[in-house]
Amino acid sequence: KASVGGIKPELPTTGSRTTAATSWSFKRASTDTKYGALLVFDEVMTGFRIAYGGAQEYFGVTPDVTTLGKVIGGGLPVGAYGGKKEIMELVAPAGPMYQAGTLSGNPLAMTAGIKTLEILQRPGAYADLDRKTTKLVDGILEAGKAAGHAVCGGSISGMFGFFFCDGPVSNFKEATESDTVKFGKWHRAMLERGVYLAPSQYEAGFMSLAHSDDDIDNTIQAAKDVFDNVL
């Protein structure tokens, strides 16, 4: 009998908006309580990036426990977890499970985190993030295909990913069939042009509200140069 079920929703790295996790079967499995297992969402990557409420808001699934990383501290060292009342009451001082950390409640991280959350709540923040990410992904894919390369990719809000195959990629098996050697060459060539993308096809890239349209245009132009002259 299971006691804990974990979901790590790094879905944009599958290179498609139509990932398996958007299906009814995913939602049904995530909310099935017949085995008494806890549902834990690792939102270190997706928290506040694909929606203000993370992947659980985006997909409409409420876990028993959520974990979050340094995104809640504006990029500074911090982590957090939270869950249902009956679970959190097991944590000291209310309960028997002791937990502490050197940087717990660090004032610098908390100040940066509060400011980050305030910015994300401004009207249109996520619409702008999605627009920028879509512009970047579409521009890079158009440049790659125009140069005759088999490449696919996709995004969810501020997270994105690419695979060197015809695609679409909707699961891990399909991802393993893409050209990782070409991805490595592409990544190194982009780095030489001042663009630091995620170094693996299995890692997601992140768009920021601080990125400008000029940044995106320059990135697309660098990708075009690599597609045309390097790969």
- Which tens digit of pLDDT belongs to each residue from 50-75? 999 998 898 888 889 999 998 899 99
- The H-or-E segment that residue 65 falls in is strand 65-68
Amino acid, single-letter form, for residue 141: L
Q: Starting at the earlier edge strand, list the strands of the sheet with 80-83.
A: 4-7, 38-42, 65-68, 80-83
Q: Which pLDDT score is estimated for 118?
A: 96
Structure-token match 């990913």, residue found: 161
Q: Which of 85, 81, 114 is nearest to 99 (CA)?
A: 81
- Cα angle value 145/229/17 (rounded, 5°): 30
- pLDDT digits 0-9 by tens, 157-181: 999 999 999 988 888 888 899 999 9
Token pair for residue 193?
């042009």
Q: Which of 203, 196, 164 is nearest to 180 (CA)?
A: 164
What stretches in the chain show pLDDT beneath 50? 12, 14, 16-22
Q: Which pLDDT score is estimated for 19?
A: 47
Token pair for residue 98?
């002791």
Instruction: Please tell me whether the peptide bond between 168 and the residue prior to it is cis, using omega within 30 degrees of 0.
Output: yes
Token pair for residue 153?
């990719």
- pTM value is 0.86
Q: Which pLDDT score is estimated for 32?
A: 67
Q: Which pLDDT score is estimated for 17?
A: 46
Q: Which pLDDT score is estimated for 14?
A: 45
